[in-house]
Amino acid sequence: MTGTAIVSQASATIGTPAVNFIIFAFFVLLTLVIAVSAAGTNRSTTDYYAGGRAFTGWQNGIAIGGDYLSAASFLGIAGIIAIYGYDGFLYSIGFLVGWLLVLMLISEPFRNTGRYTMADVLDLRLRAVPVRAAAALSTMTVSLFYLIAQMAGAGALVSLLLGVSNSAGQDVIVTVVGLLMIFYVLVGGMKGTTWVQIVKATILMAGAAVTTVWVLSRAGFSLPGLLHHAAAASPAGKAVLAPGLEYGVSTATKFDFISLALALVLGTAGLPHVLMRLYTVPNAREARQSVVWTIWVVGLFYLCTLVLGFGAMWLVGGKQILAAPGKGDSAVPLLAFKLGGTLLLGIVAAVAFATILAVMAGLTITASASFAHDVYAGVLRQGDVDPADEVRVARITAVVIGTVAVAGGIAAKQVDVAFLVGLAFAIAASANLPSLLFSLFWPRFTARGALWSIYGGLITAVGLIIFSPVISGQPGSSLISDPHVNFAFFPLTNPAIVSIPLAFFLGWLGTVTDRNPPDAARYARMQVRALTGIGAERGGRS
């Protein structure tokens, strides 16, 4: 097993597992204390799902940043930059630009027309139980996909930093991570989880900023100087400063990147765990304020990532990064070790670990809210349910989802984190965004159109992933490594370029062929409520 030999060799060269472990434990303890002390009672649905709607715009904006900046961003994007250069930068811009859509089209109307979940918005407009069920299914699918991506990242990170190189040891750690995450959600609810996100985002930003300044100081505080050094250190030379190394290889990879870009720019506005956060503020203006804060947090973070990525290319080198466990994901930890030794490595790694935990807690609470509020209360009990009972179901669901995510994370250990997240964005943009936009802004939209769009987008996106090179056909990178199994008839790894337009088209087609007339009175109410907030759920501190 040469793989294991490389792993243990590499883990021997990176930090002291004992120091890393102590710093990890400190961060975990810190976040646990925060979650427990911020939790409060969490008995009502508004407390458990929406943190009592008592957060201010800037608090929630930082928390959304915390939810959004997952391990895929911190480790994944910097890793892609460290290996491929400019193409990683392209990736990060897609993750940022999509926020403008959330800000201008979604945040205020969404806050005004819903209560706890995305399905609430569709339900206010269409009043149809099947639509609620469909929206819940797509919410849970996207959350679970994202959750597994995070879990896979946790396994790689831990194996790198704690010196746990054997497979069984990694599985144990993924399980511990899952248990911690379930604990946050059960005890903290949305309030505790939000505070964990705020603290995590602050530490993450601080850690990224310190490391960035450190890298820049090595390059004489000159960005062009840093780029020059990075290009000189890379075997590809100046090509790393321009697009094409990862996505310019063939026509398929070019269209693959356009597909990914479409998923990133439209997917953010369909991510359920981001959308649900808009309910934790008292009104639509604070929701708008939140998203502006998020844009600053996310944008500044990705600017740091650019420096970190090129810094790792220069100071660590692509060869050593690719040899380490987790490949590109290990670029930032290796860079931290190079700059600040064991201590900085431990801190950066613990921040990354806290990031994974916090993002997973946010995803779990979203998926469990969707099941309890939409499926259990809305579909199975048709709204006739006691709030305490609903919260109890949400807690049980959180445990189930956490368990599924642990199993998925163990199965998907080998898959690249940033890549899986790109797929989750594609599913979110296909299944959620069209019906959301049509509900808010198209007077004719009907329940049939919503069902066609949600199921059409969901099935196409997931189906094309199954029949893509992600799953089979490319031994080495596909999930199924057997070269004889090949059912990849779809050439692209990201389905967005097909599934998003199709979902919009199906929403339109389902509506115009619907014999039932659109409900004009409901649209009137929706429109007034979306734009003015009259009748919206309010909340706030006393």
Partner 1 sequence: MARTTPGGGTVSSTAATQSARGSASGYEAVRASRDFWTLRRRFGSFIVPACALFISWYFLFVILAVFAPGFMRTSVFGAVNVGLCFGAGQFISTFAIAVSYRRWARRRLDPLTDRLRNRLEDGRRQ
Inter-CA distances, 427 with 73, 129, 279, 518, Å: 18, 22, 22, 27
Q: How far is the CB of 81 from partner 1 (least distance, A)?
A: 11
Nearest to 438 by CA among 542, 529, 515, 511: 511
Q: Which is nearer to partner 1, 48 or 195 (CB)?
A: 48
Contact between 220 and 212 (Cβ < 8 Å): no
Q: Does 372 bind partner 1 (CB under 8 A)?
A: no
Q: Which among 91-99, 339-347, 427-435, 449-457 is the span making contact with partner 1, rule CB under 8 A?
A: 91-99
Q: Which among 12-20, 102-110, 317-325, 399-407 is the span making contact with partner 1, rule CB under 8 A?
A: 102-110
Q: Does 296 bind partner 1 (CB under 8 A)?
A: yes
Secondary structure (DSSP) of 373-409: IIIIIIIISTT---HHHHHHHHHHHHHHHHHHHHHHH
Output the six-digit token pair for 505: 């088209």
Q: Does 52 bind partner 1 (CB under 8 A)?
A: yes
Q: How far apart are CA 331 and CA 82, in angstroms?
A: 7
Q: Which is nearer to partner 1, 216 or 343 (CB)?
A: 216
Of the chain, the end-to-end C-alpha distance in Å amounts to 63
Q: How far is the CB of 515 from partner 1 (least distance, A)?
A: 24
Q: Which is nearer to partner 1, 462 or 537 (CB)?
A: 537
Q: Which among 158-166, 197-205, 233-241, 475-483 is the span making contact with partner 1, rule CB under 8 A?
A: 233-241
Q: How far apart are CA 312 and CA 319, in angstroms?
A: 11
**DSSP label at residue 74:** I
Task: Please list every residue from 21 through 50 that binds partner 1, using CB under 8 A.
Answer: 44, 46-47
Q: How far apart are CA 431 and CA 267, in angstroms?
A: 10
Q: Which is nearer to partner 1, 307 or 360 (CB)?
A: 307
Give Dmax over CA atoms of the chain in angstroms. Answer: 69
Q: How far apart are CA 290 and CA 295, in angstroms?
A: 9
Q: Which amino acid is at 102?
A: V
Contact residue for partner 1 among 7, 77, 101, 137 (CB under 8 A): 101
Task: Please list every residue from 172 through 191 that binds partner 1, using CB under 8 A.
Answer: none
The 470-509 contact track toward partner 1, x by CB under 8 A, reads ----------------------------------------
Q: How far is the CB of 535 from partner 1 (least distance, A)?
A: 4
Q: How far is the CB of 53 from partner 1 (least distance, A)?
A: 6
Contact between 393 and 45 (Cβ < 8 Å): no
Q: How far apart are CA 347 and CA 333, in angstroms?
A: 9
| C-alpha torsion angle, residues 131, 134, 139, 141 (rounded to 10) | -170
Contact between 94 and 346 (Cβ < 8 Å): no
Q: Which among 128-136, 246-254, 418-426, 502-510 is the span making contact with partner 1, rule CB under 8 A?
A: 246-254
Contact between 345 and 333 (Cβ < 8 Å): yes
Query: How far from the centroid of its chain's Cα atoms is residue 68's Cα?
Result: 5
Helix H or strand E segment including 443: none
Task: Please list every residue from 256 through 275 that binds partner 1, using CB under 8 A.
Answer: 257-258, 261, 265
Contact residue for partner 1 among 130, 133, 173, 228 (CB under 8 A): 228
Q: Does 99 bind partner 1 (CB under 8 A)?
A: yes
Q: Which among 273-281, 282-290, 380-388, 447-455 is the span making contact with partner 1, rule CB under 8 A?
A: 282-290
Q: Which is nearer to partner 1, 199 or 498 (CB)?
A: 498
Q: Which residues bind partner 1 (CB under 8 A)?
A: 44, 46-47, 52-54, 86, 89-90, 93-94, 96-97, 99-101, 103-105, 223-225, 227-228, 231, 238-239, 241-244, 247-248, 254, 257-258, 261, 265, 282-283, 285, 288-289, 291-292, 295-296, 299, 302-303, 521, 524-525, 527-529, 531-542
